[in-house]
């Protein structure tokens, strides 16, 4: 079961908690985490906030689209289903920069909803322990899984 804590600190209130819950439930099903109790914090933020977080935690002084902060140093993808039961609030936080996502959607000629779905999946996979920056093999694995999950989201 997934428990989503949702906060939108931007002026654009068009995207609601249920939008991200639907995507998250699809991810949980695809990653076979249905029996887990996961709390995730989703934060929709502006460019100043994402830049501040990126500078503070990644030492990159620039705006980015999505940041993920796992609460556990034990990636779910590397643990057997029976060996780990997450406690409430230990999965992590996802920050999505809505203005930047809108710019990306426009430049990629896709709907903002599709872009937000992609960023949500991407951020969630990072929380689960996937990392496209480690190696080409890891990147392929993560992006292939991201694509499969996005294809399951029939609304987009």
pLDDT, tens only, 11-38 = 999 889 999 999 998 998 888 876 677 8
Vertex 86 angle, CA 92 and 134, to 5°: 50
Element (H, E) at 91: none
Band the pLDDT of 156: cuts 50, 70, 90: low
122 is annotated as contributing to ligand binding = yes
- Total tally of structural domains belonging to the chain: 1
80 is annotated as contributing to ligand binding = no
Residue 35 sits in a domain of what CATH number? 3.40.390.30
pLDDT, averaged across the chain: 86
Residue 37: give the domain boundaries: 2-152
The model's pTM: 0.86
Q: Looking at residues 56-73, what average pLDDT do you find?
A: 92
pLDDT for 133 beyond 50: yes
**How far, in Å, CA of 74 to CA of 90, rounded?**
11
pLDDT for 134 beyond 50: yes
């Amino acid at each position: 079961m997934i428990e989503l804590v949702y906060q939108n600190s931007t002026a654009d209130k068009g995207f609601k908690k249920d939008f991200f819950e639907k995507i998250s439930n699809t991810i949980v099903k695809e990653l076979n985490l249905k029996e887990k109790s996961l709390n995730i914090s989703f934060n929709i933020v502006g460019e100043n906030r994402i830049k501040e977080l990126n500078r503070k935690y990644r030492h990159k002084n620039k705006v980015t689209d999505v940041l993920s902060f796992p609460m556990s140093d034990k990636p779910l993808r590397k643990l057997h289903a029976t060996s780990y039961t997450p406690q409430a609030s230990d999965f992590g936080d996802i920050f999505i920069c809505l203005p930047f996502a809108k710019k990306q959607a426009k430049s990629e000629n896709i709907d903002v909803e599709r872009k937000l779905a992609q960023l949500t999946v991407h951020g969630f996979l990072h929380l689960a322990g996937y990392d496209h920056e480690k190696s080409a093999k890891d990147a392929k694995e993560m992006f292939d899984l991201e694509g499969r999950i996005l294809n399951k989201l029939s609304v987009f």
